[in-house]
């Protein structure tokens, strides 16, 4: 009987945590498949979660394949970096290069990271001690505000946060919720007149040499000032150089498709495998999710505030709404702003301006991740 219960009757070992996690895994897969919410990630994450919580299955235990993947890809930080090569190859930075000032909107929108970090630390070891949030945990929770899954994984892993799985799931799920989180905040901060503000269209194209030099210069500037950001910005810009240089189309396509797809599968199922009931079902996990919404909201508020300032300083040539695209949730927030602009004025096409701020936010979020990695160890 011992052998039978040990090897065949896993359901006899089901704990309430395992049942709850199997349901959560199912919900994630349902969201991905039925509701089309970030299916590329939520389907593998949900499935990995299910595998990790089958009693006696051993998939996520010491020698299980999910544990091996976690060790090889997450603990070594390889998966998020490889994903960044693919993302870099997918992004066209031209809208940003035509409007380089949008990088400042990207910078402002990173306030969500730091504001949420402060809040998490206040709730944890910093003041109230309500929850078990160390400085590293608070920084890792704040990084959800980068609106960038790979950066969140990278920072949380390097800082060895206890809540990496929750942080990653929150980061990816909230990206899909940008169309729900951002519009009410933008509407509350921008009058209809401001939302209807048309922006001058930019004529002319960016030279091929500029496109090629851009990733190289970005790595040098960012890497030399914030060296901790070098792996992230390096991989992102390497991917972009493959795209921009025009002589390695095969590699560029491989990075955009095969590499990105394979690593996404492995990353998704591995993150799901990190969602074991005992690690995931804690009061802190709920707080991580709430703080994730706070982070996205603060990002939006800070971006729009700088957008409003730029609007005034530019003589109303900049629509303040594009500040909301400073978060790197590309292309969701660009679409949100384009839609809101058209609602306020049917002739107001803001998409390319918003996309400029959006890809600028991608660079800014990586810099913010590097800055966090640089500063946190200095203050421990």
Partner 1 sequence: MINALWIVLLGMAIIFAVLGILLLVMVLLSKLLKPGEKQEKKG
**Segment contacting partner 1 (CB under 8 A): 69-77, 164-172, 243-251, 358-366?**
358-366
Supply the minimum distance, in Å, between the C-beta of residue 375 and partner 1.
5
**Segment contacting partner 1 (CB under 8 A): 23-31, 158-166, 254-262, 359-367?**
359-367
**Segment contacting partner 1 (CB under 8 A): 77-85, 120-128, 265-273, 337-345?**
120-128
Q: Is 351 in the site for partner 1 (CB under 8 A)?
A: no
Q: Is 213 in the site for partner 1 (CB under 8 A)?
A: yes
Q: Is 202 in the site for partner 1 (CB under 8 A)?
A: yes
- Contact 379/118 with Cβ under 8 angstroms? no
Give the x/- contact pattern for partner 1 in 59-98, rule: CB under 8 A. --------------------------------------xx
Q: Which is nearer to partner 1, 311 or 372 (CB)?
A: 372
The CA distance from 295 to 109, in Å, is: 10
Q: Is 130 in the site for partner 1 (CB under 8 A)?
A: no
The CA distance from 380 to 377, in Å, is: 5
Cis ω on the peptide bond leading into residue 12 (within 30° of 0)? no
Positions 133 through 152 that interact with partner 1 (CB under 8 A): 135, 138-139
The CA distance from 379 to 267, in Å, is: 31
- Contact 208/57 with Cβ under 8 angstroms? no
Q: Is 266 in the site for partner 1 (CB under 8 A)?
A: no
From candidates 1, 4, 16, 201, binder to partner 1 by CB under 8 A = 201
Q: Which is nearer to partner 1, 59 or 105 (CB)?
A: 105
DSSP assigned state of 294: H
The CA distance from 60 to 324, in Å, is: 39
The CA distance from 174 to 76, in Å, is: 25
What's the alpha-carbon Rg for the chain, to the nearest Å? 21
Q: Which is nearer to partner 1, 209 or 250 (CB)?
A: 209
DSSP assigned state of 73: I
243 φ/ψ angles, rounded to the nearest 5 degrees = -75, -45
Q: Which is nearer to partner 1, 277 or 320 (CB)?
A: 320
Number of residues in contact with partner 1, rule: CB under 8 A?
54
- Contact 267/83 with Cβ under 8 angstroms? yes
Q: Is 221 in the site for partner 1 (CB under 8 A)?
A: yes
Q: How far is CA 332 from CA 178, 267, 337, 372, in A?
A: 6, 22, 9, 25
Q: Is 291 in the site for partner 1 (CB under 8 A)?
A: no
The token pair at 303 is 């971006």
Q: Which is nearer to partner 1, 128 or 286 (CB)?
A: 128
From candidates 118, 290, 312, 313, binder to partner 1 by CB under 8 A = 118
Enumerate residues 6+ apart whose C-beta is below 8 A from 210: 97
DSSP assigned state of 264: H
Q: Which is nearer to partner 1, 339 or 349 (CB)?
A: 349
Q: Is 238 in the site for partner 1 (CB under 8 A)?
A: no
Q: How far is CA 97 from CA 134, 262, 349, 352, 355, in A?
A: 39, 30, 19, 11, 11
The CA distance from 133 to 206, in Å, is: 46
Supply the minimum distance, in Å, between the C-beta of residue 179 and partner 1.
25
Q: Which is nearer to partner 1, 103 or 321 (CB)?
A: 103
Supply the minimum distance, in Å, between the C-beta of residue 303 and partner 1.
13
From candidates 56, 78, 342, 375, binder to partner 1 by CB under 8 A = 375
């Amino acid at each position: 009987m011992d052998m039978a219960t040990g090897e065949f009757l896993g359901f006899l070992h089901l704990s309430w945590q395992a049942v709850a996690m199997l349901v959560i895994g199912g919900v994630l897969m349902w969201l991905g498949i039925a509701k089309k919410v970030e299916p590329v990630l939520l389907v593998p994450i949900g499935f990995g979660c299910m595998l990790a919580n089958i009693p006696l299955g051993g998939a996520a235990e010491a020698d299980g394949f999910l544990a091996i993947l976690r060790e090889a890809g997450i603990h070594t930080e390889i998966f998020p970096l490889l994903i960044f090569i693919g993302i870099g190859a997918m992004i066209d930075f031209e809208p940003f290069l035509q409007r380089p000032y949008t990088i400042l909107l990207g910078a402002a929108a990173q306030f969500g990271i730091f504001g949420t970090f402060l809040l998490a630390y206040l709730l944890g070891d910093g003041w109230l001690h309500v929850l078990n949030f160390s400085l590293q945990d608070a920084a890792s929770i704040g990084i959800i505000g980068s609106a960038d899954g790979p950066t969140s994984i990278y920072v949380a892993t390097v800082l060895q946060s206890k809540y990496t799985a929750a942080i990653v799931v929150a980061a990816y799920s909230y990206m899909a919720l940008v169309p729900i989180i951002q519009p009410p905040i933008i509407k509350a901060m921008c009058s209809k007149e401001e939302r209807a503000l048309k922006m001058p269209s930019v004529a002319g194209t960016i030279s091929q040499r500029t496109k090629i030099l851009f990733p190289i210069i970005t790595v040098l500037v960012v890497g030399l000032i914030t060296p901790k950001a070098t792996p992230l910005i390096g991989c992102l810009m390497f991917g972009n150089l493959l795209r921009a240089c025009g002589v390695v189309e095969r590699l560029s396509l491989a990075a955009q498709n095969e590499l990105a797809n394979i690593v996404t599968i492995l990353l998704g199922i591995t993150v799901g495998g990190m969602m074991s009931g005992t690690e995931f079902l804690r009061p802190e996990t709920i707080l991580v999710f709430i703080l994730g919404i706070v982070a996205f909201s603060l990002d939006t508020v800070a971006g729009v505030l700088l957008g409003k300032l730029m609007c005034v300083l530019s003589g109303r040539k900049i629509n303040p709404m594009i500040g909301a695209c400073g978060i790197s949730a590309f292309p969701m927030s660009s679409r949100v702003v384009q839609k809101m602009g058209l609602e306020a004025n049917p002739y107001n096409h803001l998409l390319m301006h918003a996309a400029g701020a959006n890809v600028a936010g991608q660079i800014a979020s990586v810099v913010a991740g590097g800055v966090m990695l640089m500063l946190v160890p200095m203050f421990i």
